[in-house]
């Protein structure tokens, strides 16, 4: 029988160097809090359970990860990484098998690397296997002290001798270890060191001294194991993550004109032959179909976009659905609750909100459609406004199929416009209009002949 594999993710530290009111592990990377990456990794590796050790602003972290299927262990005082792992012991009582130790601030680690670590740990029959890396500048990391091939111990930067500081092989902070052995081993670790902390790294020398197997696996990619301690590293990691996301999209058939300046969140999905110009932001759970075009400066958040949609420059779309073969923009604003059935045109300087718009309907210029239900094949003229707010309540405008709305019309809601009716330009519509009618509300035009000449106002 396969022994069980569990994960513990350390995320109790404050992250002082972020200089932030929000906990470090909740800072987003490509639109997702960084701690979600190791959580997803543990899930992909089949770890059951996954225990997240939380402490600093624990309830915020717990709330952010609610429903992700992880167990929480609290570390009320941050006494070091060794102490942090011991805090997970209770949640793992009775479990025997391999524990993968991940860090909440190491988000770029890949599944394949962890699979290699686990396989190596098993073939070495080690009690603890540490994932190491070589850094040109190892400053700040724990160093791997070896005697030939053998790993002797890990020494922290602050405790290292000048000779040890010159070692370029570093501790990534990621391990595979056997439990319950690891918990017993950690109990014999003291805090007699430069930081007065219980170091998880000391488990290596404890194992070595007791004659238990210690092994180390080195990864070549520097990026994958980078830890995030400040916002400079956060930006570096975000750029690497962006490249990963964009490369995957391009390989799946999406064209990015300039991937370096295209900002796509981790959860976004895009169909084949869609073309994305520079300076586009695709955020949240946005899903985009095939053969779309997204022009520069488009910002799309949590939207569902169909096939053959053209989003022109400078348009902002939020929590909206856009049906197939629709044109949006340039400079249109689709606010939450916009639902376009397809073959629509929402042109420049048009704003929509909670607007359900049927197939083939168009609002091409300078218009506000809010709290409205618009049927199919409706033509909304330039400068049309739904007056949905009376200062206290919001009211609804209903425009049925086939209506033609002349330019500069105001609909004072609540109001219903019957199918195939026609609204004369410049009207203020305050009452319901029956089907097939003409509605017009304008002051009659007056002509006073020769008025300008009599007043002597005409320029010579």
Q: What residues are annotated to the active site? A: 365
Interaction of residue 154 with ligand UD1, rule CB under 6 A: yes
Under rule CB under 6 A, how many of the chain's residues touch ligand UD1?
Answer: 27
Among Ca ion, ligand UD1, none, what does residue 338 contact (CB within 5–8 Å per kind)? none
* Beta carbon nearer to ligand UD1, 157 or 408: 157
Per residue, the 3-state secondary structure of the chain, as one string, reads CCCEEEEEEEECCCCHHHCCCCCHHHCEECCEECCHHHHHHHHHCCCCCEEEEECCCHHHHHHHCCCCCCEEEECCCCCCHHHHHHCCCHHHCCCCEEEEEEECCCCCCCHHHHHHHHHHHHHCCCCEEEEEEECCCCCCCCEEEEECCEEEEEECHHHCCHHHHCCCEEEEEEEEEEECHHHHHHHCCCCCCCCCCCCHHHHHHHHHHCCCCEEEEEECCCHHHCCCCCHHHHHHHHHHHHHHHHHHHHHCCCEECCHHHCEECCCCEECCCCEECCCCEEECCCEECCCCEECCCCEEECCEECCCCEECCCCEEECCEECCCCEECCCCEECCCCEECCCCEEEEEEEEEEEEECCCCEEEEEEEEEEEEECCCCEECCCCEEECECCCCECCEEECCCCEECCCCEEECCEEECCCCEECCCCEECCCECCCCEECCCCCCCCCCCHHHHCCCCCC
Interaction of residue 418 with ligand UD1, rule CB under 6 A: no
Q: How far apart are CA 14 and CA 370, in angstroms?
A: 44
Interaction of residue 13 with ligand UD1, rule CB under 6 A: yes
In order of 24, 256, 408, 437, the CA distances from 247 in angstroms are 27, 9, 47, 56
Among Ca ion, ligand UD1, none, what does residue 380 contact (CB within 5–8 Å per kind)? none
Interaction of residue 89 with ligand UD1, rule CB under 6 A: no
Interaction of residue 75 with ligand UD1, rule CB under 6 A: yes
Q: What residues are paired with 98 via a beta bridge?
A: 5, 178
Contact flags string 161-180 toward ligand UD1, x per CB under 6 A: ---------xxxx-------
Interaction of residue 213 with Ca ion, rule CB under 5 A: no
* Beta carbon nearer to ligand UD1, 144 or 300: 144
From the list 36, 89, 105, 265, which residue makes contact with ligand UD1 (rule: CB under 6 A)? 105
Interaction of residue 57 with ligand UD1, rule CB under 6 A: no
* Beta carbon nearer to Ca ion, 141 or 263: 141
Q: Where does this chain touch Ca ion (CB under 5 A) — which range of 110-118, 119-127, 192-200, 225-233? A: 225-233
From the list 47, 53, 58, 346, which residue makes contact with ligand UD1 (rule: CB under 6 A)? 53
Interaction of residue 10 with ligand UD1, rule CB under 6 A: yes
Residue nearest to ligand UD1 (CB): 142
Among ligand UD1, Ca ion, none, what does residue 259 contact (CB within 5–8 Å per kind)? none
Q: Where does this chain touch Ca ion (CB under 5 A) — which range of 214-222, 227-235, 252-260, 297-305? A: 227-235
Q: Cα 321 to the chain's mean position, in Å?
A: 19
From the list 227, 278, 296, 330, which residue makes contact with Ca ion (rule: CB under 5 A)? 227
* Beta carbon nearer to Ca ion, 227 or 330: 227
* Beta carbon nearer to ligand UD1, 140 or 434: 140
Angle in degrees, CA 106, 18, 67, rounded to 5? 55
Interaction of residue 144 with ligand UD1, rule CB under 6 A: no
Q: How far apart are CA 96 and CA 6, in angstroms?
A: 9
Interaction of residue 180 with Ca ion, rule CB under 5 A: no
Interaction of residue 65 with ligand UD1, rule CB under 6 A: no
Q: Where does this chain touch ligand UD1 (CB under 6 A) — which range of 75-83, 349-357, 404-412, 443-451? A: 75-83
Among Ca ion, ligand UD1, none, what does residue 80 contact (CB within 5–8 Å per kind)? ligand UD1
Which parts of 190-219 interact with ligand UD1 (CB under 6 A)? 199-201
Interaction of residue 80 with ligand UD1, rule CB under 6 A: yes
Considering only CA atoms, which of 187, 199, 128 is closest in space to residue 158?
199
Contact flags string 223-242 toward ligand UD1, x per CB under 6 A: ----x---------------
Among Ca ion, ligand UD1, none, what does residue 81 contact (CB within 5–8 Å per kind)? ligand UD1
Among Ca ion, ligand UD1, none, what does residue 83 contact (CB within 5–8 Å per kind)? ligand UD1
In order of 169, 266, 277, 290, the CA distances from 273 in angstroms are 44, 19, 13, 6
Which parts of 330-359 interact with ligand UD1 (CB under 6 A)? none
What are the residues binding ligand UD1 (CB under 6 A)? 10-13, 53, 75, 78-81, 83-84, 103-105, 141-142, 154, 156, 170-173, 199-201, 227
Q: Which residues bind Ca ion (CB under 5 A)?
A: 227
């Amino acid at each position: 029988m396969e022994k069980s594999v569990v994960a513990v993710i350390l995320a109790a530290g404050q992250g002082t160097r972020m200089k932030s009111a929000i906990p470090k592990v909740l800072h987003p990377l490509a639109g997702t809090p960084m701690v979600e990456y190791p959580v997803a990794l543990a899930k992909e590796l089949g770890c059951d359970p996954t225990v997240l050790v939380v402490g600093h602003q624990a309830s915020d972290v717990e709330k952010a990860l609610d429903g992700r299927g992880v167990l929480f262990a609290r570390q009320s005082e941050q006494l070091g990484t060794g102490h942090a792992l011991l805090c997970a012991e209770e949640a793992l009582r009775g479990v025997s098998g391999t524990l993968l130790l991940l860090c909440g601030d190491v988000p770029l680690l890949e599944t394949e690397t962890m699979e290699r670590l686990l396989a190596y740990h098993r073939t070495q029959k080690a009690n603890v296997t540490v994932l190491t890396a070589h850094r040109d500048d190892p400053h700040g990391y724990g160093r791997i002290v070896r005697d030939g091939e053998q790993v002797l111990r890990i020494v922290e930067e602050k405790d290292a001798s000048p000779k040890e500081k010159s070692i370029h092989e570093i501790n990534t902070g990621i391990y595979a270890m056997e439990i319950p052995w690891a918990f017993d081993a950690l109990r014999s670790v003291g805090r007699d060191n430069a930081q007065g902390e219980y170091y998880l790294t000391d488990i290596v020398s404890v194992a070595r001294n007791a004659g238990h197997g210690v092994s180390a696996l080195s990864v070549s990619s520097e990026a994958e194991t980078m830890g995030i301690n400040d916002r400079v590293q956060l930006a570096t990691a975000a750029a690497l993550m962006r490249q990963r996301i964009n490369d995957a999209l391009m390989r799946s058939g999406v064209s990015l004109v300039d991937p370096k300046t295209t900002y796509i969140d981790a959860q976004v999905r895009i169909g084949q032959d869609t073309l994305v110009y520079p300076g586009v932001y695709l955020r949240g759970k946005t899903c985009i179909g095939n053969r779309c075009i997204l022009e520069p400066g488009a910002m799309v958040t949590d939207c569902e976009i169909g096939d053959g949609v053209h989003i022109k420059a400078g348009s902002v779309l939020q929590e909206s659905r856009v049906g197939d073969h629709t044109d949006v923009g340039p400079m249109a604003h689709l606010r939450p609750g916009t639902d376009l059935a397809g073959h629509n045109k929402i042109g420049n300087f048009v704003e929509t909100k909670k607007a359900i718009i049927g197939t083939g309907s168009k609002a091409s210029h300078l218009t506000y459609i809010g709290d409205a239900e618009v049927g199919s094949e409706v033509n909304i003229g330039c400068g049309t406004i739904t007056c949905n707010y009376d200062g206290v309540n919001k009211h609804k405008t209903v425009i049925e199929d086939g209506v033609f709305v002349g330019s500069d019309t105001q609909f004072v809601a609540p109001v219903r416009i019957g199918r195939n009716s026609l609204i004369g330009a410049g009207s203020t519509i305050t009452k319901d209009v029956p089907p097939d009618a003409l509605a017009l509300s304008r002051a009659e035009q007056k002509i006073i002949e020769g008025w300008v000449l009599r007043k002597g106002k005409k320029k010579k």
